[in-house]
Structure 1
Amino acid sequence: MLRTLKPSEIASYCDVHHRTVSRWIASGELKGHKLPGRGNYRVQVVDFIAFLEKQGMPIPPSLSVHPRVLVVDDEVGIRSIIRRTLQRLEMDVVEAAGGFEAGMLVLQQAPDLITIDLAMPGFDGFDVIRVIRKQPEFNDVRLLVISGLPEPELEKAVALGANDYLTKPFDADMLLAKVQKLLNLRTLAR
């Protein structure tokens, strides 16, 4: 069943009055439908997201229909490669340049998967794994280590709670395959 939103919920997201949302629906700017009986409006989440995209407004993380991935690596080039690769799977990708920033973004973004470099200055990838695995609310978050460290270090990361690892330099198709497996995705990247 497709999830729907009430005008009052949409109004809260957009910081407008619920009557404004009802006018958007009535004028056709926002695709919605009237319920039988009292005539209250409902909008499918996918239609609300399309409206937000058309208006250039941010999509609240709680409404995203795509898996959300947090990419944690201190090298901007590696983050960029991972982001572009994962966007082939239509994923929402957020980036962090280090462990401390990653900690803040995990709370704000609620990612489905985190890719983690182990060798970062300060709060490294091992620290990130430890902190995430100590928090019960993140039990379902999948952790994929992407690192150039030797095999014993990668296995240590798995022992700490990472779900899998990939060695640098990595193959884009191997990254996609591991992410699809970790998130149980059925569709392949185009």
Structure 2
Amino acid sequence: MRTIFTTGQVAKICKVAPRTVSKWFDSGRLRGYRIPGSQDRRIPREHLIRFLKEHGMPLGELEDEAMGKLLLVGIEGPIRTMLGEVLPLEDFKLESASSGFEAGIQAESLHPDGVIIDFAMGRNEALMIAQNLRKNADYNDTVLVGLISDDDSASGFDRTLFNETFRKPFDIALLAERVRTLVNRKKTLA
């Protein structure tokens, strides 16, 4: 995953001439930096993605990097629908799984940035999914969020498996904002 681009690489992504990219850079519309002692320009990935989004340009090969991928496990219709409404489709791709087995298959194909697990599917199954994800090195930095009830809170469990837990009932907008913050932080550090 490339983090710094040359003007030529940006030109290929945007399907424009390298000179056009240089003009964007020189005018300050596309942020980046010059190599010391040279006229060569470099554009960091996050500045390129921001520029493309601001100007309504297709993200092309950067689309997978720019979009947050969330796996919703055991989350029933109303919460899933509300999450879809508050997390914009241009920023997040949402996939669902109803069981631990399905969650494993979805995680392998999606490689999610975040997984939200509803304990309503069963406390033991929810914890098993979280433990299996944490055991796998591919998911060490995946954001895990647990949706728990008062019963789950009362019976202690290892909360260190999760980046965040929300006790029902909760504000769906607050959940969405917290997930957005955690996923964006993960993507910035990646």
> Into which bin does the TM-score normalised by the smaller protein fall?
0.5 to 0.7
Contact 2:11/2:17 (8 A) holds in 1: no
Q: What per-residue deviation string (whole Å, max 9, x for no partner) do you get for residues 123-181 of structure 1? A: 7211110110110111000100012243134x51514x111100122102321342244
For structure 1, the 5+ residue unaligned runs are 8-29, 37-43, 53-59, 186-190
Q: Name the structure with the higher helix share.
A: 2
**Which one-letter code corresponds to 1:152 in the other structure?**
A
Are 2:94 and 1:93 equivalent residues in the alignment? yes
Q: Residues 177 and 107 of structure 1: is their aligned pair in 2 closer, same or farther, counting only changes over 3 Å?
A: same
- C-alpha change, 1:172 and 1:2, in structure 2 (3 Å) is farther
Q: Distance in 1 between matches of 2:84 and 2:158?
A: 22
| Unmatched 5+ stretches in structure 2 | 20-47, 186-190
1:144-155 paired onto structure 2 within 5 Å: 144-150=145-151, 151-153=153-155
3-state secondary structure, aligned to 1:182:
helix
* Conserved? CA contact 2:75–2:117, under 8 Å: no
1:68 and 1:91 in contact (8 A); partners too? yes
TM-score (norm 1): 0.60
Percent pairwise identity: 22
Question: Quick check: 1:50 aligned with 2:75?
Answer: no
Give the structure 1 partner of residue 15 of structure 2. 32
SS class of match (1:176): helix
1:166 is aligned to 2:166 = yes
For residues 117-136 of structure 1, what are the structure 2 equivalents within 5 Å?
Answer: 117-120=118-121, 124-136=125-137
Q: Residues 66, 2 of structure 1: CA spacing in aligned structure 2 closer, same or farther, 3 A cutoff?
A: farther
- 1:41-89, Cα deviation, whole Å (9 max, x unpaired): xxx8859x8287xxxxxxx897341211111125222222223222388
